[in-house]
Amino acid sequence: MPWVFVGVWSTGFVVARLAMPHAPPLTFLAWRYAFSLLAFGLWIRIAGVAWPRGRAQWGHLAVSGVLMHAGYLGGVWAAVRAGIPAGTVALIVGLQPVLTAIWVSGRGQHRVAPLQWAGLLLGLAGLALVVWPKVGLGEVTPFNLALSLAALASITVGTLYQKHHVQPGDVRSANFVQIAAALVVTAPLVLLETGTLQWHADLLIALAWSVLVLSLGGSSLLMMLIQRGAATRVTSLLYLVPPCTALLAWALFGERMAASGWAGMALCAAGVALVLRG
């Protein structure tokens, strides 16, 4: 299951790259949430799935849904729309394991060992190697970088919040509540967007993949992994996503990664590994 999750999650950035020329990001995501609710609703009805128990659990699921869907996906898709390459935004949000380790350490569960500090410095150096050349090319701007960092913060806080507050349960009904909360937050923001939705074959493919594979599959797998494992162990899988995304973006869209970029990815992976090992 973890390896399937990595493969599925990597396609999310590529799908954003495929769809964004044809739709404003929040408009697309609102459609995605609506169709995902329909698909999950049918699945829940057919399977007779139990709903979460208690008002508190519904509230916790709503909060985590806003963070992990509206905040994270909104930031990533808006950043891609603003011109950042798919592989670069995948690398930025792929630093989530480092932030998770820092948070867990700060809560007093364990101290930050020298090996972990070395890993943090390696990760930052790797990020600089990837991002800095793209700043010179105009591919990374303060605006799309800020959107990427907001997505990183949102998925990190959402994962930790869910692990701490959301009780284990059926992932289908839990995902329905989370996505419904994300739609409630996203729908009003659509009115503030510029541009119009242009129905195109690429857009339809991206929408179908987002609903059937990413929402029904990827989100459910992530929730199952969070329920079954420690937060740092689950998020450690995400450092495998950027190389997979970069390869997919190169194969499908011709996005090129300089030698320094690949070296930066290797440093980030090594840095995260050191943090988690420490």
* Percent of the chain whose pLDDT exceeds 90: 32
- HSE of 61 in the Cβ direction (CA atoms, 13 Å)? 24
182 neighbors 65 (Cβ within 8 angstroms)? yes
Report the pLDDT value the prediction gives residue 215, as an integer from 0 to 100.
86
Domain spans of the chain?
2-277
Q: How far apart are CA 91 and CA 262, in angstroms?
A: 11
> pTM value?
0.80
Report the pLDDT value the prediction gives residue 229, as an integer from 0 to 100.
61
Q: How far apart are CA 12 and CA 109, in angstroms?
A: 33
Report the pLDDT value the prediction gives residue 147, as an integer from 0 to 100.
93
Q: Calculate the alpha carbon distances from 118 to 100, 107, 132 in Å.
A: 16, 20, 21
pLDDT in tens, 41-68: 999 999 998 899 889 999 999 999 999 9
Report the pLDDT value the prediction gives residue 67, as an integer from 0 to 100.
95
Cα 168 → chain centroid: 21
pLDDT in tens, 110-123: 566 777 778 777 87
Among the listed ranges 25-34, 145-154, 162-171, 219-228, which one has the minimum average pLDDT value? 219-228
Average pLDDT over residues 26-33: 94
Q: How far apart are CA 80 and CA 13, in angstroms?
A: 8
